[in-house]
Structure 1
Amino acid sequence: MNKRVVITGMGIYSCIGTNLEEVRKSLFEGRSGIVVDEERIAFGFKSPLTGKVPTPDLKKVLSRRQRISMGEKSEYAYMATVEALQQANLSEEDIQRREVGILYGNDSVSKAVIEATDIAREKKDTQLIGSGAIFKSMNSTVTMNLATIFGLGGVNMTISAACASGSHAIGLGFMLIQQGLQDLIICGGAQEINPYAMASFDGLGVFAEDISHPQQASRPFDKNRTGLVPSGGAATIILESYESAIERGVPIIAEVLGYGFSSNGGHISTPNIEGPAKAMRRALEQANISADQVDYINAHATSTPIGDANEAKAILEVFGNHPYVSSTKSMTGHECWMAGASEIVYSTLMMKYGFIAPNINLEEPDDDIKELNFVSTTIKQEFDIYLSNSFGFGGTNSAIVVKKYNNE
């Protein structure tokens, strides 16, 4: 029999808050974290809009040896993971006694690679790059740093799947626990926000360019959107087998019911309808629920015309207009490799506290998707089951179904 998989801890380091309580308030109030970044203007960006997060000060909590191998996203991930472990009541001693794994979503590192290359080019001496550079610049930088810092003994892998990376990390963690291969896994996603990480995206001309009202720039599903807004940070979910959580006597936050995945098999950057619909159907099938049991969908919708429209059509095809729909990217911008994990945190907070956060800036939906049950202002609404969508370049799709935990 498949094991039940539950969430016992969450942590978040986001442009709408650097802990769960700050983020809960921002979601309820529909507060945007988008700003104009002066550094991007100097850098020559067409769009200087971004979600902004503070740089963590880790000097008091980590040694220099530990910090020297950590880049921007590893620092964000550390902060989110500390909060998640605390909520899950997992002490350092607990982790040492158990086989705890880590699966984290990340699909690129830009700043560390560029800085190391610049030193080599300028100084013509690779020894001046520094001993920590290699560990900052690898795609697996988050998992290798956190596994070392926390002394993890279980599965240790980075999931690279574009903007679905964080979601696939949670989905694969769910499957490993469900099959009895692990009891407890730290899952999540992280994204750096420095200009190096976003310059090539900016060059594609896909970012919103109207900087007069930054907090209105990210407009998923809205007819007058002008493009997406990049963002970043980190989000961590503690996944655990039901038996392990009960044995430890810790509060269970929610239960993961299903994980669906698919590939579009078409254009490298233009999404279709069939792939997302297949992922959602597979998630429902694995969860053993019907479409009408899903109360809320946190849409991937990034504020691009084709992406928003095709996802909306896929939702209508699978669910009709029954579930409430919103995209938290309207507040956070597109958190890229982090988004699939952070949106599980956002949605679970809503479910726990009985509200649905708004798709802010949604004034006039596209004509052919108006029938979706959009939430444009916060509503107080108890709900038991939600689905979170995450899609990425190359046509990778992930959908996760989560249920409120009841002491049954």
Structure 2
Amino acid sequence: MVISGKREEIVVSGIGITSSVGIGKREFSDALLKGKSNFGMLNREGRQHEGKSFVGAEIGQLPELPNFPMRFARTCSLSTLCALNAINEAWHEAKLADQDPKRIGLFIGGSNFQARHLMTLQAQASDPSFINPNYGLSVFDTDLGGVCTEYFGISGMSCTVGGASASGQLVILHAINAILAGQVDTCIVLGALTDLSYWELQAFQSLGAMASEGDVEHPHLACRPFDAATKGFVFGESSGALVIERASTAQFRGSLPYVVIKGIETVSDGHRNPDPSFEGECAVIKKLLKNTGLSASQINYVNPHGTGSKVGDAVELAALAHCGLRHASINTTKSITGHGLTAAGMIELIATILQMKQGQLHPSLNLESPIDEDFNWVRTQAQNHKVDYAINMSIGFGGVNTALCLQNI
């Protein structure tokens, strides 16, 4: 989908983030540029079993929200609380209180993201006949949207969009379509926090996708995308929100845009298995470049999917090289934040935008022996770099490939 050009530009006018390395974009950006991670043992209830625990990164104490109903405070999941905090930051920055709530939409990227919350509700039931009634609400992903729309008074359209680890980026495409179709004027797009329980963590480890428990002695070294010593992804809690709209809509409210969304594309590999597709990743990059009218040489920064999967990382670099992007500066956001799964695409998009506006690229942690040295890696220190056009990649289980292009303004 080409967005700018004949049509009025779609811009990002608000950012909010809740992550393991910082709550709010100022803390988050500072942690990125300093290469400050927060990996350790996962301690939340429901993430251990019979003495086994996993390495990862969890979010600290959340700030109190103003005028937050007690009934929400008692029943909301961690995913919902993190969403509210991220949206609240983006909402106020974009001055959405001045917008007609009937013309604001909420699009949530992710599905099945409250697994641990549901498991803890099950565990609290001493008798199956007395399950917490809140379970009947929380089992649906739309419950998160219901809480958020009620709290912020949003009465435009609301929906969830599932694309596994590409959800946080795929949801942007659907939100833009709603804006271009005139269904809403402004969209809040959210990458929802995936609240994993022990069972999902164990399953990912059994698949060979997630770093093994052997990394617990040195948790800060476990997450190493694109490094020869990688052992898989490391989970990191996160949730992020963007406000997207036409440039004139933002201007009317006096909201200053960050960047232009130049284009976004998605293609499917047409298979179930989680293994990546070189053909699919090449196809989505080429489609993006063609439809934005940009050449590969004009892209001077790539924020990759880069999970730490041996096969996935190698395929992604091969696709970037095939599409002529070896020259572009590249770093690894997940090496600092961990893999946010359904939120990952949104978190890395936010990281890309903040780097573009600051003219600095964050370092890549644990990138000691890149599997392909012939890329323009940002290694152990942040670098000054003016980014004109950036590409952000996201790949999801089920053969979902997405690529998004941002233009600095």
Find 2:164's aligned residue among 162, 165, 173: 162
- Kept in 2: contact 1:43–1:195 (CA 8 A): no
CA distance in 2, matches of 1:80, 1:15: 13
Residue range with higher mean Cα deviation, 32-41 or 293-302: 32-41
Amino acid at match of 1:36: M
CA distance in 1, matches of 2:286, 2:196: 36
CA distance in 2, matches of 1:59, 1:82: 8
Amino acid at match of 1:346: A
CA distance in 2, matches of 1:47, 1:339: 22
Write out per-residue CA displacement over residues 378-402 of structure 1, whole angstroms, 9 at most, x where no aligned residue: 1111112111111011111111111
- Kept in 1: contact 2:260–2:406 (CA 8 A): yes
The alignment status of 1:113 with 2:118, answered yes or no, reads yes
The alignment status of 1:206 with 2:212, answered yes or no, reads no
Find 2:108's aligned residue among 98, 104, 107: 104
Amino acid at match of 2:314: A
Q: Which residue matches 2:3?
A: none
The alignment status of 1:23 with 2:28, answered yes or no, reads yes
Alignment of 1:248-327 (within 5 A): 248-327=253-332
Q: Which residue matches 1:370?
A: 373
The alignment status of 1:380 with 2:384, answered yes or no, reads yes
CA distance in 2, matches of 1:263, 1:30: 34
Amino acid at match of 1:375: V
Q: Which runs of 5+ in 2 are unaligned?
A: 1-5
The alignment status of 1:398 with 2:402, answered yes or no, reads yes
Residue range with higher mean Cα deviation, 26-35 or 138-147: 138-147
Alignment of 1:9-158 (within 5 A): 9-38=14-43, 42-44=48-50, 48-56=54-62, 58=64, 61-91=67-97, 94-108=98-112, 109-119=114-124, 122-126=126-130, 128-130=131-133, 132-158=134-160
Deviation for aligned residue 1:135: 2.5
CA distance in 1, matches of 2:290, 2:103: 30
Deviation for aligned residue 1:318: 1.1
CA distance in 1, matches of 2:185, 2:316: 34
- Kept in 2: contact 1:101–1:156 (CA 8 A): yes
- DSSP 3-state at the match of 2:23: coil
Name the CA shift for 1:243/1:16 in 2 (closer, same or farther; >3 Å). Answer: same
- Kept in 2: contact 1:66–1:149 (CA 8 A): no
Name the CA shift for 1:173/1:45 in 2 (closer, same or farther; >3 Å). Answer: farther
Name the CA shift for 1:399/1:59 in 2 (closer, same or farther; >3 Å). Answer: closer
CA distance in 1, matches of 2:245, 2:394: 22
Write out per-residue CA displacement over residues 289-311 of structure 1, whole angstroms, 9 at most, x where no aligned residue: 22111111111010010000001
Name the CA shift for 1:47/1:315 in 2 (closer, same or farther; >3 Å). Answer: farther
Deviation for aligned residue 1:286: 3.0
Q: TM-score normalized by structure 2?
A: 0.91
Q: TM-score normalized by structure 1?
A: 0.91
- Kept in 2: contact 1:193–1:231 (CA 8 A): no
Amino acid at match of 1:244: T
CA distance in 1, matches of 2:122, 2:48: 21
- DSSP 3-state at the match of 2:330: strand
Deviation for aligned residue 1:69: 4.7
- DSSP 3-state at the match of 2:344: helix
Name the CA shift for 1:351/1:266 in 2 (closer, same or farther; >3 Å). Answer: same
The alignment status of 1:227 with 2:229, answered yes or no, reads no
Deviation for aligned residue 1:327: 1.6
Deviation for aligned residue 1:42: 4.5
CA distance in 1, matches of 2:229, 2:149: 44
CA distance in 2, matches of 1:156, 1:272: 32
Amino acid at match of 1:331: I
Amino acid at match of 1:402: L
CA distance in 1, matches of 2:47, 2:68: 34
Identity %: 27
- Kept in 1: contact 2:115–2:195 (CA 8 A): no
Name the CA shift for 1:320/1:45 in 2 (closer, same or farther; >3 Å). Answer: farther
Q: Which residue matches 1:242?
A: 247
CA distance in 1, matches of 2:60, 2:120: 21
Q: Which runs of 5+ in 1 are unaligned?
A: none
Write out per-residue CA displacement over residues 351-398 of structure 1, whole angstroms, 9 at most, x where no aligned residue: 0001111221111111xx321222113111111211111101111111
Name the CA shift for 1:172/1:319 in 2 (closer, same or farther; >3 Å). Answer: farther
Number of equivalent positions:
398
Residue range with higher mean Cα deviation, 222-231 or 34-43: 34-43
- Kept in 2: contact 1:3–1:180 (CA 8 A): no
Amino acid at match of 1:304: S
